[in-house]
A = this chain, B = another copy of it.
């Protein structure tokens, strides 16, 4: 199950060329995936420093008309904040708000550089936040004020970001990092306890996507998106607190079965829906091409 979209910005993209082609591609995606049970198309302005106010507004209207999620990288680091203040006189959060783009279907990735008023504004507007702790650490963006956002009532989901800034894209490793980094940053071992962290990774993620009625917890009436973790492995024995174990000790390789929408896609660690050797072989080819390009 995925929420996908083509990222748009003011300059040509290696993916689609000129901006207008990007709009055409986005419209095509919405057409192709109407009523798809597993793929939801989103509207994706890249960020306030790569998208003019006109482009942001245009994409905002597009998202509003389609009732689509508006996904944007927001307040990711000090450079973005400084550039936005220089160009527009306000930080990224207030800049988006002036454009009318902070709302319940706005999913803001990162949100590292925020003051208390900006946190309150995100909460009042019902903006959802995708917290990507490991990416923020690796890129030296900083540490997002997640406990303060949760206190203010902001809906926070946990993301891994992509493999460019988080090599392992392992949600279990990410929960481990999220639970730990805020304790160190705030010098308080009680913040982001295992329950809060697991909740942000599951229910929080679902709510951030506006899909809390469909996924995010094991409840009658929800879609069967679930994983089975093998707690009998030596490094997970013994178990006293399963929630603490999920956050602090389980790793992605402990997942033995995976089901999406009621369909088993991995059974006993074997992927049932993809040709793994063919994909690995293709990846090997791409690797050789890239190495050849590097000379």
Chain A interface residues toward B at CB < 8 A:
78, 134, 136-143, 167-168, 170, 173, 176-177, 179-181, 183-184, 186-189, 234-235, 237-240, 244-245, 248-249, 251-254, 276, 279-280, 283-284, 286-287, 290-291
Known: A140-B183, A251-B252; 11 extra A-B contacts, CB below 8 A, are: A137-B184, A138-B180, A140-B189, A141-B184, A167-B249, A168-B176, A173-B176, A173-B251, A177-B177, A235-B252, A251-B253
**Known contacts A142-B187, A167-B249, A248-B168, A180 near B137 by CB under 8 Å:** yes
Contact A184 B143 (CB under 8 A): yes
* In contact, B240 and A287 (Cβ under 8 angstroms): yes
Tell me whether A238 and B168 are in contact (CB under 8 A): no
Complex contacts, A189 vs chain B, CB 8 Å: 138-140
Contacts of A170 in B (CB 8 A): 235, 251
Instruction: Please tell me how many copies of the chain the complex holds.
Output: 2
Nearest-CB residue, chain B, relative to A135: B180
Q: Which of B167, B176, B251, B284 contacts A248 (CB 8 A)?
A: B167
Q: Are B184 and A142 in contact (CB under 8 A)?
A: yes
Q: Which of B136, B167, B177, B249 contacts A168 (CB 8 A)?
A: B249
Residue of B177, B183, B186, B286 near A238 (CB, 8 A) is B286
Q: Are A168 and B251 neighbours in the complex by a CB distance under 8 Å?
A: yes
A-B interface, 4 closest residue pairs, ranked by CB to CB distance from nearest: A238-B287, A137-B180, A140-B189, A167-B248
Beta-carbon nearest neighbor of A190 in chain B: B140
Which of B140, B245, B276 has a CB less than 8 Å from the CB of A186? Answer: B140
Contact status of A283 and B237, CB under 8 A, knowing A136-B184, A167-B245, A181-B184: yes
Residues of B close to A183: CB separation below 8 A: 137-140
15 examples of A-B residue contacts, CB within 8 angstroms: A134-B180, A137-B184, A138-B179, A140-B183, A140-B187, A140-B189, A141-B184, A167-B249, A168-B251, A173-B251, A177-B180, A235-B252, A237-B283, A238-B283, A251-B253
Nearest CB on B from A133, distance (A): 9
Question: Which chain B residue lies CB-closest to A281?
Answer: B237
Instruction: Check B137–A284 contact: CB distance below 8 A.
Output: no
Q: Which residues of chain B are near A177, meaning CB under 8 Å?
A: 177, 180
Contact B167 A280 (CB under 8 A): no
**Candidate in A186, A235, A240, A244 with the most chain B CB atoms within 10 angstroms:** A235
